[in-house]
Amino acid sequence: MIFMFRKVLFPTDFSEGAYRAVEVFEKRNKMEVGEVILLHVIDEGTLEELMDGYSFFYDNAEIELKDIKEKLKEEASRKLQEKAEEVKRAFRAKNVRTIIRFGIPWDEIVKVAEEENVSLIILPSRGKLSLSHEFLGSTVMRVLRKTKKPVLIIKEVDENELAKTKGTSG
C-alpha cells in the first residue's frame, strides 16, 4: 500500500487547540498515514519558572532540575500515551511513536522534522496561548520560516462547524 503521508510530525502542547486539530484532520483527510510522530516539547522557559518558584525545596539546584525534568517527562509521557491510540485511529496511521524533548518548541519541532525526515508537519493554529497572537507568531511562524518540510496549519474550528463536518462525512 502506498501512503500519501509517509511520516507525519504532530507536535502537541496538550491544549484544546491541539486536540481539535486531530478531530479536524480526521474529518478532512481521506488518506492513510504510514507513521505519526507525536512530539511534546517541554519549554526551557517553563523549567526556568519552575526552578525560580521551587528552588527553596532543594539544597542543590542540579538535583532539583533533574527531579523537575523527570516529573515533567513522566507527565508528558503519560499524556502522549493517552492520545496515541486516538491519533492512530484519527490519522489512519499504521504506527504512532512518541518523542519528548526539552528546549525551545519551534526549534525542537524543526530539528525533529529533519532528524526523522518527515513528509509533513501538522500544527494547530492555536495552542496554549490561544487568546494571544503570540503563539502563531512565535511558534507556527518560526517553524514555517525555519523548516524545509511541508507544513499543514489546521485552523481551530468552533463546535458548530465541527458538528456540521461530522454530520456530512461518510
- Work out the angle at residue 144's Cα, subtended by the Cα atoms of residues 143 and 147, and round it to the nearest 5 degrees: 70
Q: Which of 75, 41, 68, 69 is nearest to 54 (CA)?
A: 68
Q: What is the pLDDT of residue 128?
A: 52
pLDDT of residue 53: 57
- Where the chain has pLDDT below 50, the residues are 1-2, 129-136, 162, 165, 168-170
pLDDT at 29 (0 to 100) = 85
Considering the domain 5-166, what is its CATH architecture?
A: 3-Layer(aba) Sandwich (3.40)
Which pLDDT score is estimated for 44?
84
pLDDT for the residue 37: 98
pLDDT tens-digit map of 153-166: 998 655 555 455 45
pTM for this prediction:
0.81
Among the listed residues 160, 115, 120, 106, the one whose alpha carbon sits nearest the alpha carbon of residue 29: 120
Spell out the domain ranges in the chain: 5-166
pLDDT at 67: 84
- At residue 159, the pLDDT reads 53
Cell (9 digits) for 73: 517527562
Phi first, then psi: give them for residue 15, nearest 5 degrees: -85, 165
Q: Residue 169: its pLDDT value, please?
A: 44
Dist CA 143 CA 106 (whole Å): 5
Question: What integer pLDDT is reported at residue 131 of this predicted model?
Answer: 37
